Amino acid sequence: QSELTQPPSASGTPGQRVTISCSGSTSNIGSNFVYWYQQLPEMAPKLLIYRNKERPSGVPDRFSGSKSGTSASLAISGLRSDDEADYYCSTWDDSLSGPAFGGGTKLTVL
Amino acid sequence: EVQLLESGGGLAQPGGSLRLSCAASGFTFKSYAMTWVRQAPGTGLHWVSAISGSAATTSYADSVKGRFTISRDNSKNTLYLQMDSLRAEDTALYYCAKSVATTQYYYFDLWGLGTLVTVSS
């Protein structure tokens, strides 16, 4: 059971824009930065977004993050077939005294 | 090359023990907090434990507190996870990951490929 709630699946066609939501509470998203990870099939997770909206070097600007209150979202524009992956949101949880992860969203490119 | 390589996973009986290792290369290991995150088959990620760069502070998820021990040897650039009193629910792929800071572990910019732990009789 995850402290953060994500939709289990999302889909889009090539070129489309898709958004993945992440819902939390005042003890996690509401008072801390949000991070996003991309996990390609059979691969290790990769940092995609940090501090709500910042992109690590090498991550294309098609990926963007935002946060409002106790929710956050990841947007992917110009969808490509190689964006098919599981996407996880994460944040510090004050109750857990550690990082919390969402259950993950499986993105399918139709 | 900057990388993390986990090892030590395998099959263990309930109540048994395993010791995981994570060999780091390509960065100044002692300068970063490190963590273990696990992923049970077909499920999401769950934080397990973390340790500061100097090993002065450690932290554990409630689900493993008192059973798992995290440690590191900065002279060998290696992170460890001693897992005792294993339970079936500990079955998962265990990732080690590098924090971006020395004492804090809010997020992780480098992950290994994981090592699989199966607890079954």
* Alpha-carbon gap, residue B62 to B94, rounded angstroms: 17
CB atoms closer than 10 angstroms to residue A40 = 13
Give the up-direction half-sphere exposure of residue A52: CA atoms within 13 A in the CB hemisphere: 13
Q: What is the pLDDT of residues B87-103, one digit of tens each?
A: 999 999 999 999 999 99
| CA distance, residue A28 to nearest chain B CA (Å) | 11
Percentage with pLDDT > 90 across chain A? 92
Segment A81-110 mean pLDDT: 95
pLDDT at position A1 over 80 = no
Residue type, B43: T
* Alpha-carbon gap, residue B72 to B10, rounded angstroms: 21
What is the full DSSP assignment across B71-120? EEETTTTEEEEEE-S--GGG-EEEEEEEESSSS--S-EEEE---EEEEE-
Q: What is the pLDDT of residues A48-77, one digit of tens each?
A: 999 999 999 999 999 999 999 999 999 999
Q: Which of residues 61-120 of B touch A (CB under 8 A)?
A: 61, 95, 97, 100, 105-109, 111-114
| CA distance, residue A76 to nearest chain B CA (Å) | 20
Least confident of A22-26, A42-46, B25-29: A42-46
Average pLDDT score over chain A: 95
Residue type, B23: A
So what's the pLDDT on residue A3?
A: 85
* Alpha-carbon gap, residue B38 to B31, rounded angstroms: 23
* Alpha-carbon gap, residue B98 to B33, rounded angstroms: 6
So what's the pLDDT on residue B93?
A: 96
Q: What is the pLDDT of residues B46-71, one digit of tens each?
A: 999 999 999 999 999 999 999 999 99
Residue in A33, A37, A56 nearest the CB of B106: A33
So what's the pLDDT on residue B43?
A: 87
Contact A27, A95 (CB under 8 A): yes
* Alpha-carbon gap, residue B36 to B61, rounded angstroms: 10
So what's the pLDDT on residue A2?
A: 80
* Alpha-carbon gap, residue B116 to B2, rounded angstroms: 22
- Residue A87's pLDDT band (cuts 50, 70, 90): very high
Nearest CA in chain A to B36: A99
pLDDT at position B42 over 90 = no
So what's the pLDDT on residue A60?
A: 96
Residues A66, A64, B46, A85: is their CA dihedral positive or negative? positive
* Alpha-carbon gap, residue A84 to A39, rounded angstroms: 9
